[in-house]
Structure 1
């Protein structure tokens, strides 16, 4: 392991004494060194938040740090950050600006700048960061790392110097998804003392698949720098190799992102640490941004909440037929000189695709997506609804080519019509103990027809001349006894039979009798039942 003192840029604010850097626990993380962003408490060490005037040692470890210590991990030091975790550049620190490990001229990204640099240089296998507006994902993208932003409240923020308490997340930075898994497992726990902590549900929420096979991507061009644009197009090509890609409107996501600093939500930072802004050593850009919240009223705050609720409802539509949303992490990769010339404008643009994740209650993983033509790393992010963290990590592993353990064998049933999520008969599957396994499509050669019955429903037939890209369906995971209970509810001309999926596997599914192949009732051109019903 490269010694922390050998790092050639200000990644660390403080290092722990040698007698403290020892593991005394035989746990799953025994002996693994890690770094801690210096807005997270480590007992006996000041939590500066990037402000040297905060020099009083913490009296206890943050909940997250203690969870890691109890499993044998070894903290070696506190890392640099944009002051009070307000920034996405990594330059707003009196301890010095960090740069990307790939280029001394380009920013490291922030606010978890030091944590990202420490991992990227190989000083530690993992580091803790935070991500309120993208502060873990941006430096991950700029340094070729995996940045995991869990669902809000899944990891306790007790012992974190708050930026926006309702949105703050403690995150991880690693080189691989495999390295992130045991760390996240150690961190996740309900903390009844933390008012923002939320317990993980025993089952995945409705609509969240155990295996993510459908990725949503923007349905139009994005405002990207030319080097980023080329790398983004390559990432879309890679996405099609990892999963089925559908196109969605991302305008609600981008509008929600703008609310974080262009509406009254910025006032939460003023409430959280405004009392520190008049002290010595405060970065003037940070002070100006947070003091700007003075112009908002209580009425503005409620107006922002109402607009966010409207945008959240629109954004939810992206996940109706998709498991995760793919976006670039940033629109470009600025230089330190560009940030110095326009510190607020450049930083604001960096949050275009990240600011909304916590506002919309999404989990996210930033993953490397190759390099730009100039050799700088390019990163994308996968976003999914709250508490989809486990399946999203599996998808991230498939993205990076890492091994994913196969799910346990269960009875799988493919549905394409009335039993789809949100459709009239879906409650039958839920009552029988079913959970969504994956979104998928039929294999080539299938056609879909409307059929008679107690309510509107379609039937699938393999005619051999159906579309090559298949027809939309869902695969549900059911207890074996549920199939027997379901059979009496299936009205002719539908029955259960083998159905081939787009990945070549065969599962049980709802299929129609051959007599249903009536050209007048052929709805194959819609691509799926939902699209037909919407028409």
Structure 2
């Protein structure tokens, strides 16, 4: 048995939360301690304690069912992220300890009603993209057990792909939250650095580490990120969202692609990515090749430069005292950090900054960069023969992302001819996570593959949630698409959402002596629905947009035909005395068209 998607799980148990106990009895029976995707499986008492906390709060009236957006949702945690009372090993038994406090992201998810069911396997100390560098064993690919699962978040991806949990947490420094997603046909979010707190996460490279999220659907990943994310004053690298980024991509997305694609002679991956690019073009996206040399140079910095010394610092004491307890490949990588000086480290930072600036400038005219999540895949046996070279190949399109302060989302793509998944990744500037998810949801609906390695299909979409970082504005006149003031929206990263109509309690007027010509919208007991456009504008840009609106116009709250309330243009009543009532035309564009043709 596999569990539902997050949204289906919550819908099922919101009506009968008391049934969660029975659901977990069945779920626990499906979690095998012989499955090496798990390092630790929560005991009956540990699960019961988490459920009791939720159910007691509901039964006592302290909280309502609706206060738990992740009501009883089972999730797994990569074993380099702390869960209170459960051991953290980072896939190194000699390193194991038991924290008494949850990592911030775990605490936030528990507070939203989610339940930790276990800790998952990983490449030791999160060092690798392969999923084989663990004394607990190599985690197998969920589609072909001869192949690797990808790492370092191998177990987290595996348990999601098989439907054992609704979502899982991983980490991503060089691609660990994306490569396993691509190899297992699931979704992996590598969020903007600093959005999800790293407090309680064993560092690999503190300047580049991110907590990542795996789920079967983009919608589930986004829902989890919105709960888990947010500024944490206890994490020195946590950041406030500046709330300046667009809510979604352009109506006709413009994507950059590498001018020279490298697949290391893997014809199956190359053919799969070609199918995906063709599919994107069929869906109306514009694909533009760009010089990829700066991306490649920055990717090489992560493991073949002084940045590797960050890994040495992260496990320095253990490396000095018990090196024999480490995986040999991991130990060799960590040891390389001793070869660099402080001067090398500063030069590495200067190089990173120069390349990152160039990369962000190259991406400025695009909605996102589209790349294969990995250019190739290898068997577990092959990986044993070439552990470093093949690992490096997997990072071709991932290693640069955090160094350049970009966000990324790994998505299911067209399968390879040999039946293995071959995902794609969309990469965008920092804080464009919401836009990535909006496109990802549309992409996943269009490709309509079975979810992960299950036989489940994508559920019907739920009601759209307006982003908390944006303001939805109803535009009625000169700010409509194609109108002279529309640029006041587009230059502030506002994006068109849809056409709509107001409730039937408004009248529309053509105002006198305005340049450019503008209408005025006024509430009336005798009105009719008026055509509007809905735009989402970043919160930080909303104030300067409003400041440009001249009297007698202003921004108030409008009621739409479906009952939704949004911000929108209103007009002072004094300006209506010499205005022309054009309500009967139903909208500004209709009035202009008929007016000019008369």
TM-score tier, shorter chain, comes to 0.7 to 0.9
Is the contact made by 1:264 and 1:296 (CA closer than 8 Å) also made in structure 2? yes
Bigger fraction of residues in helix: 2
Aligned to 2:347: 303
2:298 aligned with 1:256: yes
Q: 1:20 aligns with which of 30, 38, 46?
A: 46
Distance in 2 separating the partners of 1:507 and 1:117: 53
1:348 alignment partner, SS class: helix
Cα deviation digits, residues 417-455 of structure 1 (max 9, x gap) = 9x99xxxxx8xx48x99434279xxxxxxxxxxxxxxxx
Aligned to 2:128: 87
Aligned to 2:495: 437
Distance in 2 separating the partners of 1:80 and 1:358: 23
Aligned to 2:474: 410
Is the contact made by 1:143 and 1:377 (CA closer than 8 Å) also made in structure 2? yes
Q: Matches of residues 288-327 of structure 1 in structure 2 within 5 Å? A: 288-327=332-371
Q: Matches of residues 188-199 of structure 1 in structure 2 within 5 Å? A: 188-199=229-240
Distance in 1 separating the partners of 2:241 and 2:190: 15
CA RMSD of aligned residues (A): 2.9
Aligned to 1:164: 205
List alignment gaps of at least 5 residues for structure 1.
Answer: 421-425, 440-474, 488-505, 509-535
| Closer/same/farther in 2, CA of residues 253 and 416 from structure 1, 3 Å limit | farther
Q: 1:218 aligns with which of 258, 275, 286?
A: 258
Per-residue deviation, 1:395: 1.1
Distance in 2 separating the partners of 1:438 and 1:256: 35
Aligned to 1:448: none
2:391 aligned with 1:353: no
Per-residue deviation, 1:221: 3.3
2:315 alignment partner, SS class: helix
Q: 1:183 aligns with which of 209, 224, 232?
A: 224
Q: 1:11 aligns with which of 12, 37, 45?
A: 37
Distance in 1 separating the partners of 2:258 and 2:104: 38
1:78 alignment partner, SS class: strand
Q: Matches of residues 352-431 of structure 1 in structure 2 within 5 Å? A: 352-401=396-445, 403=461, 405=464, 408=472, 410-411=474-475, 412=479, 429=488
| Closer/same/farther in 2, CA of residues 131 and 476 from structure 1, 3 Å limit | closer
Per-residue deviation, 1:398: 1.4
Distance in 1 separating the partners of 2:333 and 2:318: 14
2:327 aligned with 1:269: no
Aligned to 1:456: none
Is the contact made by 1:434 and 1:476 (CA closer than 8 Å) also made in structure 2? no
1:77 alignment partner, SS class: strand
Flag the structure with larger Rg.
2
Distance in 1 separating the partners of 2:405 and 2:492: 25
1:5 alignment partner, SS class: coil
Distance in 2 separating the partners of 1:507 and 1:97: 62
Aligned to 1:47: 88
Distance in 2 separating the partners of 1:179 and 1:320: 28
| Closer/same/farther in 2, CA of residues 36 and 139 from structure 1, 3 Å limit | same
Distance in 2 separating the partners of 1:89 and 1:416: 52
Per-residue deviation, 1:244: 2.6
Per-residue deviation, 1:480: 7.8
Aligned to 2:153: 112
Distance in 2 separating the partners of 1:251 and 1:377: 27
TM superposition score normalised by structure 2: 0.69
Per-residue deviation, 1:45: 1.5
| Closer/same/farther in 2, CA of residues 131 and 480 from structure 1, 3 Å limit | same
Distance in 1 separating the partners of 2:482 and 2:364: 15
Aligned to 1:36: 77
Q: Matches of residues 458-473 of structure 1 in structure 2 within 5 Å? A: none
Distance in 1 separating the partners of 2:306 and 2:296: 17
List alignment gaps of at least 5 residues for structure 2.
Answer: 4-26, 55-64, 447-460, 467-471, 498-534, 554-587, 591-598
| Closer/same/farther in 2, CA of residues 302 and 480 from structure 1, 3 Å limit | closer
1:435 alignment partner, SS class: coil
2:413 alignment partner, SS class: strand
Per-residue deviation, 1:318: 2.8
Distance in 1 separating the partners of 2:94 and 2:480: 61
Is the contact made by 1:209 and 1:437 (CA closer than 8 Å) also made in structure 2? yes
Is the contact made by 1:91 and 1:97 (CA closer than 8 Å) also made in structure 2? yes
2:262 aligned with 1:204: no
Distance in 2 separating the partners of 1:56 and 1:148: 28
Q: 2:330 aligns with which of 272, 280, 286?
A: 286
